[in-house]
Amino acid sequence: MKNAPLFPHLIHGGDYNPDQWIDTPEIWDEDVRLMKLAHINSATVGIFAWSLLEPEEGRYDFDWLETVLDKLHANGVSAVLATPSGARPPWLAQKYPEVLRVEESGIRNEYGVRHNHCLTSPVYREKVRQINRALAERFKDHPALALWHISNEYSGACHCDLCQQAFRDWLRKRYHNDIDELNHYWWNGFWSHRFTDFSQISSPKGRGENHVPALTLDWNRFVTAQHVSFLENEIVPLRELTPDVPVTTNMMCLYPGIDYQEMAKHVDVISWDSYPQWEHGRNEQEALTHAFSHDLFRSMKQGQPFLMMESTPANVNWRDVNKLPLPGRQAQASLLAVALGADSVQYFQWRKSRGGHEKFHGAVVDHAGHENTRVFRQVAALGEQLEQLDEAVGRRCESRVAVVYDWENRWATDRYCGYNNVRRDYAGECIKWYAPFLRRGIAVDVISETDDFTRYDLVIAPYLYLLKEGVKERIAAYVQNGGHFVTTYLCGVVDPHDLCYLGGLPAGELKDVFGVWAEETDALLENAPGRASYGGRTYSVDHVCDILHADGAEILGTYESDFYAGSPAVTKNSYGKGTAYYCAFRSDGDFADDFCEDLIAACGVAPDTAIQIPKSMFLRKRGDLIFLFNFTDVPRTAELDRPYLDVLNGAAVEGALTLPVCGYAVLKSSD
């Protein structure tokens, strides 16, 4: 695999479906003409093209694709070549019904939609491997080929007999073929569930077992494992035939169905599809969510640049109401991706399809078919700007602060039954603790529980309900050695099997680390929040809160409502050379931001520049480039500490820099 940057320039491209227009080849020529006008340098081809690539079993027709790749290459456009497994041709489903999914009902799906394949089916895996091999053989030396794109937005699960058997085999392996080991970890004494044989187990489902949390957790893990092995099966011929072409697959924001932190290990480059929902009054929050995701996906490969594989140049078509974003918004969001580590701005989709489910999804080229549209002009203008940012390409990001977001903890917090069963929103909590850093120009990684804490000065792990193997020991060691660690309510409640820790919370040695015992957890009704005080201010207590005993910790804040008024709500504990904070409640107000203000000072974490921004702006430095953003609905002003060069327009700037709505700037010190 290549180690150099994939491209000398930022990738500007997107999903391109010439296969839909095979009967009108004049459209293909028009496409390349328009790509040049739009400053497009990359096209993703072949997604969902299987029924054209293999029109009947074993007969491949790749000539049209070669023609397309030739045209692209001749016009300076590289190809991201997709494997077609995301949607199968009808003949395949008709001949081999096993390739279609079975839902929880036990009834096999009929042919239809995409993402409708069994992850286990040997036939399907074989057919996919065969066509991938054929593609690699045909195009391994094609000069346009820059990257393999495996399938598309892997998702879902299958409950067929083959999958049940695979699940049982996976369990046998996990539990050393010892059914009593499984019985213990799943706590099967509850409700008379002690199995006597692995054959008695089936996937969780509404019409079967749906009340065993450890089963559901293991099923989530198994579904990830099946996706990974399906992915690996796809990659085998590619690695063999095109060892120098890197491999990616496009992931989806905070999609819970697959542990992306696990899947990330199996691709060379991380890609993801970013579709913010821009709406007056919530643009800032939406930008935060996507910024968080950029940092999350980048952190999966320790700072290596990622690709924003999909985004829309206009509106999408699949939300309830698909309002047009303001002019400039798409460019702003694209630059945010680049600021946070993306080496690409790619679109779904190049050209609107004439029919089908996504014909009204925003595209660079509309049904009108020409370049004289507002959207096309905006894309072309952005393409020109991206060409000014070559020095960002391949530049890794480094952070001294990390927020923990962990897929297994997401699964566990989504599913446990107790305390507050609505609006768990683990991701929302993590974003709440992530935002203060982006708002202050401090780089931040978003890592899993098993990532290395010692790379950071400060680690914040909100709502850390499930502790994976060794995590509590690693937290203790991290703090012992001088780290700063922050957690919140319901910390360290269960082990990786969703078995509760005995002996008081937080689990085991964490009581010493934080110097507290969390005796009870209260739940708050939506319309009846509690109150807590910290630093002379009062905050709402929402959703849940722990009732604490300080056992050595310093009390920084207390509850002011309910029968536990006066008891500790925020604590700080010196442990070894480090410090551990316990913030025992959720607050929908400004608590996290105010607390982080103090925390940043206490931990000595410094902003990456001396530019002064209001909290309503975002700032991030990548290499020597400083990116500034205004995602609010009014103009915002930053105070520059020195003269800068505005990289996008070559102007010199100093003093006050005001960004309008949708505004952004890329600065470089002009010293």
Member of 212, 245, 308, 386 binding a second copy (CB under 8 A): 212
Determine how β-strand 401-404 pairs with β-strand 458-461. Answer: parallel
User: Count of alpha carbons within 13 Å of 541, Cβ hemisphere only?
Assistant: 29
Which range binds a second copy by CB under 8 A, 141-149, 317-325, 335-343, 474-482?
317-325
User: Least distance from C-beta 260 to a second copy, angstroms?
Assistant: 24
Spatial distance between the Cα atoms of 499 and 476, rounded to a whole number of angstroms: 21
User: Which residue's CB is nearer to a second copy, number 388 or number 632?
Assistant: 632
Q: Which two tokens stand for residue 328?
A: 């400039």
Give, as ranges, the residues between 492 and 551 that touch a second copy (CB under 8 A): 497-505, 517, 519-520, 522-526, 528
Phi, psi of 479 (to 5 degrees): -70, -45
Member of 318, 535, 537, 642 binding a second copy (CB under 8 A): 318
Spatial distance between the Cα atoms of 643 and 171, rounded to a whole number of angstroms: 62
C-beta atoms surrounding 59 within 10 Å? 8
Q: Which of 186, 183, 208 is nearest to 196 (CA)?
A: 183
User: Least distance from C-beta 625 to a second copy, angstroms?
Assistant: 29
C-beta atoms surrounding 149 within 10 Å? 23
Member of 60, 170, 187, 255 binding a second copy (CB under 8 A): 187
Spatial distance between the Cα atoms of 249 and 86, rounded to a whole number of angstroms: 11
Instruction: Give the active site residue among 153, 234, 408, 449.
Output: 153
CA angle 402, 632, 361 (to 5 degrees): 90
User: Least distance from C-beta 64 to a second copy, angstroms?
Assistant: 11
**Per rule CB under 8 A, is residue 149 in the interface with a second copy?**
no
Give, as ranges, the residues between 60 and 89 that touch a second copy (CB under 8 A): 84, 86-89
**Per rule CB under 8 A, is residue 177 in the interface with a second copy?**
no
Q: Which of 176, 173, 175, 168 is nearest to 201 (CA)?
A: 168
Considering only CA atoms, give the Rg of the chain.
26
Site string for a second copy, 107-136 (x = CB under 8 A): x-xxxxxx----------------------
Write out the DSSP string of 522-556: EE--TT--EEEEETTEEEEEEEEEEEEEESS-EEE
**Per rule CB under 8 A, is residue 300 in the interface with a second copy?**
no
Give, as ranges, the residues between 401 and 430 that touch a second copy (CB under 8 A): 416-422
Spatial distance between the Cα atoms of 362 and 399, rounded to a whole number of angstroms: 35
Member of 178, 191, 390, 655 binding a second copy (CB under 8 A): 191
Residue given tokens 């930008």 in the structure block: 287
User: Which residue's CB is nearer to a second copy, number 90 or number 143?
Assistant: 90
User: Count of alpha carbons within 13 Å of 519, Cβ hemisphere only?
Assistant: 8
Member of 105, 177, 658, 669 binding a second copy (CB under 8 A): 105
Which range binds a second copy by CB under 8 A, 47-55, 301-309, 469-477, 624-632?
47-55
Q: Which two tokens stand for residue 241?
A: 């035939």
User: Which residue's CB is nearer to a second copy, number 323 or number 537?
Assistant: 323
Site string for a second copy, 596-635 (x = CB under 8 A): ----------------------------------------
Q: Which two tokens stand for residue 528?
A: 């009846």
User: Which residue's CB is nearer to a second copy, number 27 or number 555?
Assistant: 27
Site string for a second copy, 14-33 (x = CB under 8 A): ---x-xxxxx----------
Q: What are the Cα distances from residue 448, in Å, to 77, 227, 300?
A: 36, 19, 8
User: Least distance from C-beta 153 to a second copy, angstroms?
Assistant: 12
User: Least distance from C-beta 187 to a second copy, angstroms?
Assistant: 3
**Per rule CB under 8 A, is residue 655 in the interface with a second copy?**
no
User: Count of alpha carbons within 13 Å of 256, Cβ hemisphere only?
Assistant: 15
User: Least distance from C-beta 41 to a second copy, angstroms?
Assistant: 25
Member of 2, 33, 173, 323 binding a second copy (CB under 8 A): 323
Phi, psi of 439 (to 5 degrees): -75, -10
User: Which residue's CB is nearer to a second copy, number 193 or number 468?
Assistant: 193
Q: Which helix (H) or strand (E) holds 660?
A: none
Spatial distance between the Cα atoms of 326 and 116, rounded to a whole number of angstroms: 36
Member of 186, 222, 292, 629 binding a second copy (CB under 8 A): 186
User: Least distance from C-beta 134 to a second copy, angstroms?
Assistant: 16
C-beta atoms surrounding 218 within 10 Å? 26
C-beta atoms surrounding 561 within 10 Å? 16
Count residues contacting a second copy (CB under 8 A)?
A: 115
Q: Is 153 a catalytic residue?
A: yes
The amino acid that residue 220 corresponds to is N
Q: Which helix (H) or strand (E) holds 627?
A: strand 625-630
User: Least distance from C-beta 246 to a second copy, angstroms?
Assistant: 25
Residue given tokens 């520059």 in the structure block: 640
Which range binds a second copy by CB under 8 A, 104-112, 265-273, 405-413, 616-624?
104-112
Q: Is 310 a catalytic residue?
A: yes
User: Least distance from C-beta 18 to a second copy, angstroms?
Assistant: 10
Spatial distance between the Cα atoms of 564 and 224, rounded to a whole number of angstroms: 42
User: Which residue's CB is nearer to a second copy, number 71 or number 572?
Assistant: 71
User: Which residue's CB is nearer to a second copy, number 59 or number 265?
Assistant: 59
**Per rule CB under 8 A, is residue 167 in the interface with a second copy?**
no
User: Are 611 and 441 a contacting pair, CB within 8 Å?
Assistant: yes
Give, as ranges, the residues between 234 and 273 that touch a second copy (CB under 8 A): none
Give, as ranges, the residues between 563 and 602 that touch a second copy (CB under 8 A): 563
Phi, psi of 76 (to 5 degrees): 75, 25
User: Least distance from C-beta 648 to a second copy, angstroms?
Assistant: 21
Spatial distance between the Cα atoms of 607 and 86, rounded to a whole number of angstroms: 43
Which range binds a second copy by CB under 8 A, 185-193, 218-226, 476-484, 617-625?
185-193
Give, as ranges, the residues between 352 and 381 that touch a second copy (CB under 8 A): 352-361, 366-369, 373-375
**Per rule CB under 8 A, is residue 208 in the interface with a second copy?**
yes
Return all residues near 103 (Cβ < 8 A) that are at least 6 apart: 109, 159
Spatial distance between the Cα atoms of 138 and 62, rounded to a whole number of angstroms: 8
User: Least distance from C-beta 390 to a second copy, angstroms?
Assistant: 31
Instruction: Give the active site residue among 98, 234, 310, 449.
Output: 310
Coil, helix or strand at residue 651 = strand
Q: Which two tokens stand for residue 192?
A: 């008379």
Coil, helix or strand at residue 650 = coil
User: Least distance from C-beta 110 to a second copy, angstroms?
Assistant: 3
Member of 49, 166, 339, 647 binding a second copy (CB under 8 A): 49
Catalytic residues: 153, 310
